[in-house]
Structure 1
Amino acid sequence: MHAQTFPAIGTPGQPWGDTEIAQWRALQARKRSYADEVLTRIDALREHFDVARYGEVDCGADGRYTLFSLRSRGWDAALPVAVVTGGVHGYETSGVHGALQFAERHAAGYAGRANVLIAPCVSPWAYERIHRWNAQALDPNRNFHAASLAAESAALWALLHSLGDRVLVHIDLHETTDSDETEFRPALAARDGKPFEPGTIPDGFYLCADSARPEPAFQQAINAEVAKVTHIAPADPDGTIIGSPVVAPGVIEYDCRALGLCAGITDARFVTTTEVYPDSPRANPQQCNDAQAAAVRAALDFALAHR
């Protein structure tokens, strides 16, 4: 059982309005630097990638955040496209740094085989505040659709749709943390005026496949590679992970497009969402980054071999 740490905001049973959102936002303090921890690494990659600004998020008194992508140098329209996204939820640290680690250490190995596009930190305001939501108390990963009110989601939606039908594979890097149960799920219940229903946090790595494009062998290939780095999450006694039925070891499914998830943006044949567990006593931050990078490599290798 994880102790709840989310402060009481609003009236139980009533959804938040502007007053409650303002009260919540006033509690969100900057804890780390997007410029120092992310942009410096992106800048260091300019020799090897085309670095492009694909959007800007205006967070009022908290400033403006420019969104950047890394694109393969010498982009070839005849090649398939591989998309890697991280930091859709800003608090999920290895999503950001795993994407950057892949760019630094492995992306060059796909030159001439695929065009690689990496958006390593989709939600920089949330990255700095180690939070799931954006500055408007919206979850970016429930807001990837054409009329999105989440600026981070709208910018990435436009970027990926500009790629047309050439996207072969999209891997979106996430974490499931103890704070999901202590802070973010209670906050969601309070925001929406619903009762909080306690859940469980899986101990280990798992994948969320798209139920519309499950590609079981693809998911299994990723887990097999990640298992060399960290452990795969077992199912709960009821055969679920985070309440969803386990369809294969370490794999559950969501309807990504219907839920407005990042993995549902494109029509790529091969899509998945990684979930690393950084709070496990059997893992450390570098191991989590290694697991994310391993997942990306396995995803690209499988997709290119089976296209």
Structure 2
Amino acid sequence: MEVDFLLIGQGLAGTILSYRLIKEGYSVRIIDEPQANNSSRVAAGLYNPVTGRKMVKTWNADLLFPEIEPLYEELEGFLESKFLYKKPIYRPFLNIEEQNEWMGNSEDEKFRVYLKKIQTNPLYEEVKNDFGGVILTNSGYLDINTLLDSYSKFLKQKNALEEAYFDESKLIIANEKIQYNDISAKGVIYCNGLGTMKSKYFSFLPFSPVKGEILDLKQDFQPEEIINRGVFRISLPNGLVRVGSTYSWHDLDQGPTERAKIELYERLENLVRVKEKKLIDHKTGIRPATKDRRPLLGKHPDHESVYVFNGFGAKGVSLVPYYSKMMVDLLKNQNQPQNDVNISRFFKYI
């Protein structure tokens, strides 16, 4: 089989990049070990323009967010499947000073596109929001599992997906051509999350894996908004509530932990006054984050046909639509990615 590009991994990164390549007229073959893309499978899929304790705009928000909803809506139409849920995010204020600060932000042009309303009084009696809060727009979440499953079905119909373990020892690079078993390609792209850490080509990249855990609960309170302060709380279509997420750089085993469950319960109690809850599911995954919290895009310094598209961490839903366009520009036109995401920033460590 001869294709333009061989992609390793059909998580969110491999899915979106391959879709863009196919749209550009390229042929692709993806090798994916389904149980290995655990990071995408358990992610909550939240996209949020204002984050952190200090409630600041997400890094590169003005570049990222115009790409998010149009791409996923396009994919919904293409795959005839529903997985994008556009929802406002309600972030309660902790004190009157925050309320005053955001009243000022509402007049700032750089925030206006992300602000739906400044709430000066409590929005819900079930939420600990005595000082009101900010209601954000251009936000929501992606049902990543449904997207991956729908796209996998499409790939199989095109004979473009092989569900198997990728054995790098069988990858042959000769005259900058790629050969893997019966697959010949012009280039290979590593989109396989933490699997890239084991690659002899990209072992120099500074991944910093982060474990995250989320809970699915049964609770009666079902607001339209995603409630987010210290922990996010999403009302799901199935009547459950999703709560997350934890961040651990130390406990990197795959299993859920009692410590994380207790932490999430405590954070939830600091957010809402609803006491009753029934645990339905407890999920965990290891995110392919990087030490500088920036994605990894680019070409190997010594091999023209070996690329990486990776390192999106916990914000893949927000980052991948924009940076997949940048990656296609590299593959198609050899235009280098921006310096802050280009893997060339780490060549000095080889």
Superposition TM-score, scaled by structure 1 size: 0.26
Bigger radius of gyration = 2
More strand by percentage: 2
With the length of structure 2 as denominator, give the TM-score of the two structures: 0.24
